[in-house]
C-alpha cells in the first residue's frame, strides 16, 4: 500500500521525502500586500471619518513628520484618527514638539464644520508650542487655475494695444 515516489521528489539517497516548505514566495506576497495597504490606508481612513475637505486652487504637499488633526462636521476633534478633547490635543501636540521641534500639524476640517472649532484647534496647537501647521484642502476638479492676464509687450514701431476695460476707464 506504499506509494512509489519518483526520484525527483526525494531529498537524498536515503529515500526520505522533502518535508520543508519554501516560504520565500509567501513572504514576497505578504510584503507586496503590506505596501498596498500602507498606500491605501490614508485614503480609506479619510473616507471612514466622513470629512469633506473644502476646495482650493493652490495646495502644497504635506511634510513627512506631521500630527494629523481632523475636525468633523459636528466640531469634534480627532487626533491621529482618535476622538480627542482640546486638552488631549494639547498633550499630543506638546509630546510631538518635544520629540521633534519641527513637527507640523496637518489640519483637515470638514467644510461644514464651525469656524470656531478650527480656531480652537489652531489656538490649542499654538499654546502647546507647535507653530507649524497646514490646513488640508482639495483642488477643485473642474475649475482651471485662473492666472492674471499679462499686458502685451508692444514694440516701438507699433501703437500700444488697448484692452476694452482700459478704453472704458479713459
Q: Which tens digits make up the pLDDT trace of 99-129?
A: 888 888 888 888 888 888 888 999 999 998 8
Q: How far apart are CA 141 and CA 60, in angstroms?
A: 16
**CATH of 51-135 given 3.20.20.70, 3.40.50.970, 3.30.460.10, 3.30.420.270:** 3.30.420.270
92 vs 70: CA distance, rounded Å: 13
pLDDT for 137: 80
How far from 104 is each of 80, 101, 130, CA to CA, in Å?
13, 9, 7
Q: Which residues, 6 or more positions from 118, have their beta carbon under 8 angstroms from its beta carbon?
A: 71, 107, 109, 135
pTM over 0.85: no
Are the C-beta atoms of 121 and 107 separated by less than 8 Å?
yes
Q: How far apart are CA 81 and CA 151, in angstroms?
A: 49
Secondary-structure percent of the chain, ordered helix, strand, coil, rounded to 5: 35, 15, 50
Label residues 112-122 b or e (16+ Cβ within 10 Å = b).
Answer: ebeeebbebbb
pLDDT tens-digit profile of 22-45?
889 999 999 999 999 888 887 777
In angstroms, the CA 59 to CA 124 distance is: 24
pLDDT, tens digit (0-9, with 9 covering 90-100), for 67-81: 889 898 888 898 888
Domain boundaries, the chain: 51-135
**Class of residue 52 by CB neighbours under 10 A (exposed 0-12, middle 13-18, buried 19+):** middle
Please give the pLDDT value at position 35.
92
Banded model confidence at residue 63, pLDDT cuts 50, 70, 90: very low
User: In this predicted model, what pLDDT tens digit does every residue of 7-25 receive, in sequence order?
Assistant: 555 455 667 787 888 889 9
Q: What is the pLDDT of residue 123?
A: 92
Amino acid at each position: 500500500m506504499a506509494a512509489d515516489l519518483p526520484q525527483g521528489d526525494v531529498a537524498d539517497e536515503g529515500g526520505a521525502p522533502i518535508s520543508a516548505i519554501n516560504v520565500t514566495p509567501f513572504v514576497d506576497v505578504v510584503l507586496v500586500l503590506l505596501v498596498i495597504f500602507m498606500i491605501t490606508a490614508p485614503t480609506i481612513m479619510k473616507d471612514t471619518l466622513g470629512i469633506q475637505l473644502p476646495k482650493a486652487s493652490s495646495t502644497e504637499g504635506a511634510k513627512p513628520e506631521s500630527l494629523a488633526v481632523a475636525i468633523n462636521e459636528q466640531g469634534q476633534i480627532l487626533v491621529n484618527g482618535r476622538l480627542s478633547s482640546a486638552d488631549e490635543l494639547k498633550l499630543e501636540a506638546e509630546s510631538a514638539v518635544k520629540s521633534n521641534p519641527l513637527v507640523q500639524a496637518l489640519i483637515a476640517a470638514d467644510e461644514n464644520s464651525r469656524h470656531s472649532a478650527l480656531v480652537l484647534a489652531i489656538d490649542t496647537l499654538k499654546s502647546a508650542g507647535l507653530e507649524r501647521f497646514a490646513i488640508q484642502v482639495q483642488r477643485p476638479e473642474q475649475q482651471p487655475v485662473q492666472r492674471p492676464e499679462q499686458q502685451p509687450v508692444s514694440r516701438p514701431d507699433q501703437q500700444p494695444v488697448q484692452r476694452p476695460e482700459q478704453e472704458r476707464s479713459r
